[in-house]
Structure 1
Amino acid sequence: MYVAPTPAELKRLDAYWRAANFLSVGQIFLWDNPLLKRRLTLEDVKPMLLGHWGTTPGQNFIYAHLNRVIKSFDLDMIYVCGPGHGGPAVVANTYLEGTYSEVYPHIGRDEAGLRRLFRQFSFPGGIPSHASPECPGSIHEGGELGYSLSHAFGAAFDNPALFVACVIGDGEAETGPLATAWHSNKFLDPVTDGAVLPILHLNGYKIASPAVLARIPAEELTQFLTGCGWMPIFVSGHEPGPMHAQMAAAMDQAVLEIHRIQRQARKYGQAARPRWPMIVLNSPKGWTGPRTVDGQPMEGNFRSHQVPLHPADHPGHLALLEDWLHSYRPGELFDAEGRLEPELATLAPVGRRRMGANPHANGGLLLRDLHLPDIASYAAEVPAPGSPGISDTRVLGPFLRDVMRLNAEARNFRVFGPDETESNGLTAVFDATNRQWDAETAPGDHWLAPQGRVMEMLSEHQCQGWLEGYLLTGRHGLFNSYEAFIHIVDSMFNQHAKWLKVSAQVPWRRKVASLNYLLASHVWRQDHNGFTHQDPGFIDHVVNKKAEIVRVYLPPDANCLLSVMDHCLRSRHDVNVVVAGKHPAPQWLTMPAAMAHCAAGIGVWHWAGNEVGNEVGTESTTAAGPDVILACCGDVPTLETLAAVSILREALPEWTVRVVNVVDLMKLQPHDAHPHGLSDAEYDALFTRDTPVIFAFHGYPSLIHRLTYRRANHVHLHVRGYKEEGTITTPFDMTVLNELDRFHLVMETVKRVMAAGGPARAQGEAGAALTRRLEAKLIEHHRYIREYGRDLPEIRDWRWRLSA
């Protein structure tokens, strides 16, 4: 039978809260004198004050009460800190529970440790003011607002015993991602998933403006949250005593209701979607801080958001700071050596039940390798280069289907995407699973079930946030999306890449599975959608991040896509971006050849060029090197390049052509710039130091120049790619509009070879005649598509037929 906490227990809980508040204020302000054993002086205060107080006391209050219910109900719980700059609270609480000193032994649980704890906060060489990767128990930094609740749900998926307490700031609640995340409860299965307990923290203000949800009537807020499918439990007030009693009752009610929901579903079956509980905590911003400063309100006001006092600039503030710190009565909380009083220390959970020590918050500890099938079993048959294919992603689909099947028992792999799994050619996964869906269904729906493995919501933010939470707690996944609209999560990608970069430098953090993007429905096959669906620039955005984190792959065909995806699902602590087509396309390499090519990341396709000694699998023996190099990266650029090669080899057979295909984009960078990069000698062996290079690229041409500007042959590199031209048109016309088509590639080749001189210049008239013929062909193409609405027969029916 449930028994409410006694007044004595609540009094101890209040003391624990005071201890966390004291440590939080100390982190923001103090350089020395951590236990106030003497009068405070300016020398005890940090020379530069950085940090955020306003959200901190409310989070300390929540954390203390979560500790109580963890112990009372033996909960397996992690804490997601949504409000920005909540670092003082999570650092203070993980220090009080002992986890912090375990991972950082030099910050001991004594006076010297307190001094180091305070000095490191928001200080050069120390730790940030967020719940950063350096903080144990954190999977969410909160530096950018909006993602806490989607991260919390991602953590809860496939973790049936886990409770995820997610604190949401009222400012954060105004962001689009968070506003959408309330609907994640329609995707949570009470049988196989854990529980998410949102705690909406209303403290009235953002940095300077009022927060919307804190300034609407309680009835309206109740209607909003109830309309989103939640059962809100309200805690509101200012005086600590009554607030502790309210919060304890609210926490107990929420936990008991969650247990009731789970027990009902797991024992008797799920009858209807449950209405999960949540807590709304309405407390003053800057609670327990100075009421007024310099005649202006501080507690309960936006002025408490950051650093409320500045003793160096305002002499009267030093006394206010000293009074503030003494108001927590530290002598009752810590002994003379600086250790937390034993009676209070027992309030924290122990071992892995501490939220700072929970292994789910250090997901690499729980990570297990995926069981992956042999990709050779899914290979596209390629009897000869250029064989027709059903589409690259449709070849990948059965492989992902069987990844689902092989890991069904472990329940550690999911596919995420904004309602585009079918559209992107991955329909085969539905042979093995359904879309997870806990809302109502209607006749005619298909592949919907409470326990599906495909997560779809028409919000890229939610898909990415769910996946990040899933990965950071030790599982694997894939995010598939239309290429143009993956930009919606540019900033989320930024934050995750930064988390990976920093956490890789934290010794006690373990590597997690990579964040894998599959971008289909790409720029070159948006003929029916038009200009709005055309943008390959996510690649440019990705390569800005640290080289040890980011990888970009553009497989030219289905077998290369299988090889790349097999690698990505095995990788750790990377962000892998894979761009692939979903339309029928030529297939170039057998599976053994594709695996070798992808392992190298870049290589000469000897069978496509005509250098001397050009048998398949051999190196060129042409001493002088080729007259021209045609390079390509991406499926459509590869197709157009090989079509251009076929024209050149038939019209100008005496010209020596080398074909280089790039799968791993980062191979183009020097090795000292990216771990996948080629050395200068390796790069020069492929591209020479002085041969014209015509490079057909999937994305914006400037990116290739950016990656290769340090190379010796950069002056001879001429890149064709997307240049913001597009409309409702034919597939081939998309390449023509951007001058990436075979005809423009050939004309560019003729121009550059003739300008370079050499033996090939002797065929100048033949080259000029070829250019005139292709210019006429472009005019014919323009007329034909406008009359018949599709590409010329010679384009539609083109096949690679040149012998090696």
Structure 2
Amino acid sequence: MPTDPQPASAPASAPPSDQELRTLDAHWRAANYLAVGQIYLLTNPLLGEPLTPEQIKPRLLGHWGTSPGLNLVHTHLNRAVKQRDLDAICIWGPGHGGPAVLANSWLDGSYTDTYPEITRDAAGMAALFRQFSFPGGVPSHVAPETPGSIHEGGELGYALSHAYGAALDNPGLLVACVIGDGEAETGPLAASWHGNKFLDPVHDGAVLPVLHLNGYKIANPALLARLPEAELDALLRGYGHEPLYVTGTDPMAVHRAMAAAVDTALDRITAVQRAARQDGCTDRPTWPLIVLRTPKGWTGPAQVDGVPVEGTWRAHQVPLDQVRDNPAHLAQLEAWMRSYRPEELFDAHGRPTEQVLACVPEGTRRLGANPRANGGLLLRDLPLPRLEQYAVPVDKPGVTLHEPTRVLGGLLEQVMADTAQRRDFRLVGPDETASNRLQAVYGATGKAWQADTLPTDEHLAHDGRVMEILSEHTCQGWLEGYLLTGRHGLFSCYEAFVHIVDSMVNQHVKWLRTTRRIPWRAPIASLNYLLTSHVWRQDHNGFSHQDPGFVDHVLNKSPEVVRVWLPPDANTLLAVADGVLRSRDHVNVVVAGKQPCFDWLPLDDARAHCARGAGRWEWAGTDDGGLDPDVVLACAGDVPTQEVIGAAGLLRRHLPDLAVRVVNVVDLTRLMPSEEHPHGMPDDEFDALFTRDRPVVFAYHGYPWLIHRLAYRRTVHPHLHVRGYKESGTTTTPFDMVVRNDLDRYRLVMDVIDRTPGLAVRAADLRRQMADTRSRHHAWIREHGTDLPEVADWTWGS
């Protein structure tokens, strides 16, 4: 929830005294102790007696190597938050840093606030240890179950884009982001460094990246850790950052350097925001960044069985892996844990001592308790205008044409205008807003841009809320961070290239599925995709731009989360958009064309049709609705709908006695059984619509086997024949795309004749005529470069 723009931090405090450094070190040692205990111990949390094999977990799971560095960052963020009264969250990027973040949440009390059974004493410590990576417990990484988290710990590459998304339109928020050196090698992370060119220091918060270079990944050196310092410095400055370096192995020296680096970074952030908010400076700022170099597995075993561990890749996961069976390893584990001097850190009852908690903030200032990390608590309903203002008139179906996404653009412009003050809606996309016919939004807001501008540029604005960068990963990461902190948005993308974020949507779906089972996680706004420039109208760009498979990918995911919508015209797109923008905790995929397509339904009919998800279009068919038809023509998608209606018109003209039912599907998940998806149709409803035993010829937008997979349990499935995209594409005419893939109206008529009992002989001449028209099409487009006149000039009823 945006607040009045104010500097994100107070002026610098004095450097920490020796006493304060000792309190920081005590907190850090306590967090390290708790991290080790989570990986290893079932009982005996305070080491009140010598460790025995029975007190060790039978399966040792977890990651120690990154934990000391994360604990150090958490400790020093605590100090800064408390001293400066900061509103701050942290994105923990390194994979499987769960032991550290859980330890710190337990220390500051936010874990007990969230899970009262995990008390902040010896019993609670034992429960914290036992549950970690244990059946019925919690994952080994930062996860939805972790208080204060908006980022799954295994999502390598997305941390920084999530951080920038969280900071957008949160002017008082500091988002710290720890980036592991392995994560820094990923393509998504490399692109996300450019987020600082889109961050408005007036209306947005600040992001403080902490690049943690501990030298190794699972089994290999980390690239950035091996760069010469001058080369690394040039790289980071080239990204637009001013690096601050913290390097060392001596804890007290590192504490002193880290405190100074955090203070310096926050002072510089304050200066940037003051210059923009109070002095009117519009120059793109150079933001600070901290480079933290500490050994992997710092303070852990230096050697195990004579082999170096600390500071090597061997510290990545479990440094001592034979503790139950090897007495020397057990003794080494106990010595390791006692090296943190737990008797100084916890009292006799297992409670953290006053010295440990001296640097910890209180209430919602704690990193584990900030409501922005549980964004649904702050989410407000999106103000959506009445659809009647944007609906297109439809006096007769299939006569007028509109560009559906252009119509939607008018609605989105109003949403942008209505959220101008509250600033909680963003449109993101990879350089395609205008290409996808959504440029009306520029009437309400510009494109976010902090870099240089030229006189020929259009619609660029420091405070713009349209986000364009030619990196689908970054767009997705921005939007996820924005949604997870309690706002709304839409991701517009070419259909073929949204596959780039396949793994990102995987993680987000899993996050949403998990949060649905966590009572304290409030629902967030849905992640909404608008996929346009789709397979059937990429005739100009050709084969490389023709791929409708993202729908298949998404429908493999958790049914309670995913939804897929295929509105056939402008008014149904408006109705679908209204629903998905109001929804919570879903991933909605909306596939709609940007090219002119026929208007089929008036707005009220479109609303009713979208509410049903699938329905019979009486005006297009010739069955009386009371008895089963001779054949069902079904469709899903705008181009398939046009071809089915064209086929229905041909059958009406040439076979007027044939009872044809036309069914349009706008919610693809309606095809699934009700036992498998919340939107799935009960069998009796499905049978009433599609029949139990009549031939069904289904024209589908994407790969045809998906429809078979969704409907394979249905009684009518043996009689189901699906046409769709079958990887036959090129640069050609629009109608040739459907002909190439056997989705055209003439092929559909042939399918009806082939599959309807009694028609093979009676309609043989019609079938031959349809085949001849397809042949004539091939010759025509090669001579004229355009589609057949009877196709290009066709309207319903003509």
TM-score band by shorter chain is: over 0.9
Q: Contact 2:98/2:153 (CA < 8 Å) preserved in 1?
A: no
In the other structure, the counterpart of 2:690 is 687
Match of 2:795 in 1: 799
SS at match of 2:694: coil
Please tell me whether the aligned partners of residues 54 and 324 of structure 2 are also in contact (alpha carbons under 8 angstroms).
no
Residue of structure 1 in register with 2:306 after alignment: 295
Shift of 1:346: 3.0
Superposition deviation, residue 766 in structure 1 = 4.1
Shift in Å, 1:488: 0.2
Please give the alpha-carbon distance, in whole angstroms, between the structure 1 residues aligned to 2:542 and 2:162.
Answer: 34
Q: Following TM superposition, by how much is the alpha carbon of 1:789 offset from its aligned partner in structure 2, in angstroms?
A: 0.6
Aligned partner of residue 257 in structure 1, secondary structure = helix
In the TM superposition, 1:415-454 aligns within 5 A as 415-454=427-466
Matching residue's letter, 1:266: R
Name the structure 2 match of 1:708: 711
Work out the CA distance in 2 between the residues paired with 1:599 and 1:34: 55
Query: SS state of the match for residue 68, structure 2?
Result: helix
Deviation per residue, 1:369-398 (Å, 9 max, x gap): 011100111001111000222211111110
Query: Taking structure 1 as the reference length, what is the TM-score of the superposition?
Result: 0.97
Per-residue deviation at 1:344? 2.1
Give CA-to-partner distance per residue, 1:415-456, whole Å, 9 cap, x none: 000000111110111111100000010110000011001000
Contact 1:695 1:720 in 2 (8 A): yes
* Partner secondary structure for residue 660 of structure 1: strand
Q: Are 2:676 and 1:673 aligned?
A: yes
Q: How does 1:267-282 map to 2 (within 5 A)?
A: 267-282=278-293
1:730 pairs with 2:733 = yes
Equivalences for residues 250-289 of structure 1 within 5 A? 250-289=261-300
Aligned equivalents of 1:172 and 1:369: distance in 2?
35
CA contact (8 A) 2:402 2:570 kept: no
Work out whether residues 53 and 325 of structure 2, in 8 Å CA contact, stay in contact via their aligned partners in 1.
Answer: no
Find the counterpart in structure 2 of residue 592 from structure 1. 604
The 5 A counterparts of 1:460-539 are: 460-539=472-551
Pairwise CA distance, 1:2: 3.6
- Aligned match for 2:768, one of 768, 772, 781: 772
Number of residue pairs aligned between Structure 1 and Structure 2: 786
Match of 1:721 in 2: 724
Task: Pick from 366, 370, 375 the counterpart of residue 354 of structure 1.
Answer: 366
Aligned to 1:6: 17
1: distance between equivalents of 2:111 and 2:282? 43
**1:222 Cα offset (Å):** 0.2
Once the 2 structures are TM-superposed, how far is the Cα of residue 342 of structure 1 from its aligned partner?
2.0
Contact 2:53 2:323 (C-alpha < 8 Å) held by counterparts: yes
Q: Which residue is equivalent to 2:589?
A: 577
Q: Percent identity?
A: 62
Cα distance in 2 for partners of 1:277, 1:327 equals 35
Q: Which amino acid aligns with 2:777?
A: H
1:611 corresponding residue in structure 2: 623
SS in 2 for 1:260: helix
Paired AA for residue 453 in structure 1 = R
Structure 2 counterpart of 1:222: 233
Matched, 1:79 2:77: no
Cα pair 1:380 1:389 within 8 Å, conserved: no
Structure 1 equivalent of residue 202 of structure 2: 191
2:23 counterpart of 1:23: no
Q: Give the partner amino acid of 2:313.
A: F
Judge conservation of contact 2:754–2:760 (CA < 8 Å) in 1: no
Alignment pair present for 1:742 and 2:754: no
Question: How far has the Cα of 1:541 moved from its partner?
Answer: 0.3
691, 696, 699: which one aligns with 2:699: 696
Give the alignment of 1:346-425 within 5 angstroms.
Answer: 346-425=358-437
2:162 is the counterpart of 1:151:
yes
Tell me, what secondary structure is at the counterpart of 1:362?
helix
Unaligned 5+ runs, structure 1: 613-619
The one-letter code matched in structure 1 to 2:788 is L
With 380-389 and 531-540 compared, the bigger mean Cα shift is at 380-389
> Secondary structure of 2:619's partner?
coil
1:615 matched residue in structure 2? none
Taking the aligned partners of 1:159 and 1:507, their CA distance within structure 2 comes to: 26
Take 1:463 and 1:183, find their aligned partners in 2: how far apart are those partners? 11
The answer for the alignment partner of 2:785 in structure 1 is 789
Cα distance in 1 for residues equivalent to 2:310 and 2:407: 61
Over aligned residue pairs, what C-alpha RMSD do you find?
0.8
Alignment correspondent of 1:47: 58
**Per-residue Cα deviation, 1:139-193 (whole angstroms, up to 9, x for no partner):** 0012130000000000000000000000000000000000111111000000000
Q: What's the counterpart of residue 100 of structure 2? A: 89
State the one-letter code of the partner of 1:163.
Answer: L
Partner SS for 2:255:
helix
Q: CA offset at residue 312 of structure 1?
A: 2.2
Measure how far apart 1:764 and its partner are.
Answer: 4.5
SS, match of residue 608 in structure 1: coil
CA distance in structure 1 between the partners assigned to 2:277 and 2:23 by the alignment: 36
SS state at 1:125 partner: coil
Aligned to 1:564: 576
Shift of 1:225: 0.1
The match for 1:657 among 656, 660, 668 is 660
Contact 2:151 2:162 in 1 (8 A): yes
Q: Which moved more, 1:390-399 or 1:163-172?
A: 390-399
Which string of whole-angstrom CA distances, capped at 9 and with x for unpartnered residues, describes residues 660-692 of structure 1? 000000000110100001100000000111110
TM-score using structure 2 length: 0.98
Q: Is the aligned partner of 1:138 residue 2:149? A: yes
SS in 2 for 1:268: coil
How far the C-alpha of 1:24 sits from its partner, in A, is 0.2
What is aligned with 2:348? 336
For 1:207 and 1:796, how far apart are their aligned partners in 2?
59
User: What's the CA shift for 1:628?
Assistant: 0.4
Q: Structure 2 unaligned runs (5+)? A: 1-11
**Match 2:109 to one of 67, 74, 98:** 98
Partner deviation per Cα, 1:601-651 (whole Å, 9 max, x = no partner): 100000101123xxxxxxx12x3x211000000000000000000001101
| Structure 2 contact 30–356 (Cα < 8 Å) conserved | no
Q: What does residue 617 of structure 1 align with?
A: none
What is the deviation of 1:238? 0.5
Q: Counterparts of 2:675 and 2:602 in 1: how far apart (Å)? A: 32
Q: Deviations over 1:192-236 (max 9, x none)?
A: 000000000000000010000000100000000000100000000
Verify the 8 A CA contact 2:563 2:586 in the aligned structure 1: yes
3-state SS of paired residue (2:278): helix
Q: Distance in 1 between matches of 2:357 and 2:13?
A: 24
Per the TM alignment, residue 88 of structure 1 is displaced from its structure 2 partner at its CA by 0.4
Is residue 545 from structure 1 mapped to residue 557 from structure 2 by the alignment? Answer: yes
- List aligned pairs for 1:109-258, cutoff 5 A: 109-258=120-269
> 1:312 aligns to what?
324
- Which letter maps to 2:173? L
Amino acid of the structure 1 residue aligned with 2:552: D
